[in-house]
Chains A and B, each alone.
Chain A
Amino acid sequence: MANVPKDLKYTREHEWAKQEGDSVRVGITAYAQEQLGDVVFVELPKVGAKVTATKNFGVVESVKAVSDLFAPISGEVVEINGELSQKPETVNQDPYGRGWMIVVKPSNKGEWDQLLTAQQYEDFLARAAH
């Protein structure tokens, strides 16, 4: 079973979200990167862009496929991982660490509670496997 850190929240589209003070850091899960295979391109919004929970905020492409990225939470993008434009493979190598994608300043803190807990996401993955 893929690595699912306990201190993060998750979406059913396989993004993770991490509370860091007033901000939320976002990336894709170990399961997601494994399913994608080698990531060769990541398209992220610009700093200052608004993202909306459950809506597309960017794109990740593997050799074979294009996949949308979905925002776990609404708000303003305050930071993006510029390293991914040169080294998209970082998403495969360290999905919960150096492979992060954006940091969002949430506009609706209530959305946090809508996200899956690690246990719920693990259950979701287990069901998807059947």
Chain B
Amino acid sequence: MSEAPLKRTPLHAAHVAAGARMVPFGGWDMPVQYTGILDEHRTVRGAVGLFDVSHMGEFECNGPAALAALQSVTTNDVAALEIGQVQYSVFCYPNGTIVDDLTVYRLAADRYMLTVNASNIDKDYAWVTHHAKAARWRNVSDQTGLIAVQGPKAEALVGRLADQDVTKIGYYRFARGAVAGVATLISRTGYTGEDGFELYAAAADTPRLWTALLDAGRADGVASIGLGARDTLRLEMKYALYGNDIDDTTTPLEAGLGWVVKPAKGDFVGRDALEKIRAEGVRRRLIGIEMVDTAIARHGYPVRRDGREVGIVTSGSYGPSVDKYIAMAYVETALAAVGTALAVEVRGQGKAARVVKTPFHPSRVKRA
């Protein structure tokens, strides 16, 4: 890794002042926890939490060539996207493995915004400007702050501060407006499995928005939430994390993201490879497992069946809301069925596990 100094979000000073434990994450100095991961996890499931996700990258893609450009570089069908709608998607390499996962926002007829993973900003920007150069691209990551407000009380909290009725914003939809007087793109999206919003604002305005949300949410039991709980929350939903569960060695088909691969829309980078894999059938699948023996399966631990190595763990921890040790793992397709008995090799010892239905914890996102 490079020795470059860690980058800071517009909320860095607020995290330090709040006593957060700061850690390096994807080149950024980020809060991993404030009071404790379990406590923060439960705050999001039971009330509402604020996440600083300003480290994530935002690109604008504009002009008459924007749609064609995005169609050629993402796997999902951007033509299906209405103005005001958000779409989950993937950039693939020609061999079908994953450059990054992202969300695409249609801002206007010929204007889009893409949100990408923090650690991939430079790689992704080079990728899109090379493979989709007909559009006008702008990397606005440094000018853009992003706060996720997640939990059963998120709608009430954002609603109290917004200049509009946010209950009208459907899942994977967004509206422009003001929240606490700050110009904001209010997106009904998230990474926790709870109802909530992601609020995009100018970097300079982001601390004011953060403080207003904390103040207004006090009666709701609002708290700031670190990356530690963000990880356990997304794990309980089996949401993939780039670098852990998906990367340049995995395809969206085996990762359970086949629903965002739309070959019928026309050509895109990776299409031929993905069509071939789909026709032949995937050799392995990303599944959810629950430990039967008491042990925690961690990223990189081998998965075995009758002593034979049949897969690998990609994410694993204690799931605070399910109160079990849970994990995500790639296993051979024949062993991916719910109920299949497996063993995870933990420090040289086989620990019993089984394939379970996912998400591990029921999703409470607000679907239209």
Contacts and interface: CB of A to CB of B under 8 A. Distances in A.
Nearest to A38: B38
Contacts of B33: 37
Interface string B13-53: 00000000100000000001100111100000000000000
A61 interface: yes
B37 A38 contact: yes
B296 A41 contact: yes
A49 interface: no
A77 interface: no
B325 A37 contact: no
B347 interface: yes
Contacts of B32: 64
Contacts of B317: 40, 63-64
B318 interface: yes
A59 B228 CA distance: 20
Residues of B in contact with A, size category: 10 to 19
A63 B347 contact: no
Contacts of B37: 37-38, 62-64
B192 to A, nearest CB: 15
Interface in B279-311: 294-296, 298
Contacts of A85: 294
Contacts of B36: 37-38
Interface string A43-67: 1000000000000000101111010
A85 B38 CA distance: 17
A64 B32 CA distance: 9
A66 B296 contact: yes
Contacts of B141: none
A64 B347 contact: no
A63 B39 CA distance: 12
Given A59-B347, A63-B317, A41 B228 contact: no
Nearest to A85: B294
A112 B138 CA distance: 65
Contacts of A64: 32, 37, 228, 231, 317
A38 B226 CA distance: 13
A33 to B, nearest CB: 11
Contacts of B39: 38
A63 B298 contact: no
A36 to B, nearest CB: 11
A37 to B, nearest CB: 6
Interface of B: 21, 32-33, 36-39, 228, 231-232, 294-296, 298, 317-318, 325, 347
18 contacts: A37-B21, A37-B228, A38-B36, A38-B38, A40-B38, A40-B318, A41-B294, A41-B295, A41-B318, A43-B295, A59-B347, A62-B37, A63-B37, A64-B228, A64-B231, A64-B317, A66-B296, A66-B298
Given A61-B296, A66-B298, 19 more contacts: A37-B33, A37-B36, A38-B36, A40-B38, A40-B296, A40-B317, A41-B295, A41-B325, A62-B37, A63-B37, A63-B38, A63-B228, A63-B231, A63-B317, A64-B32, A64-B228, A64-B317, A85-B294, A89-B38
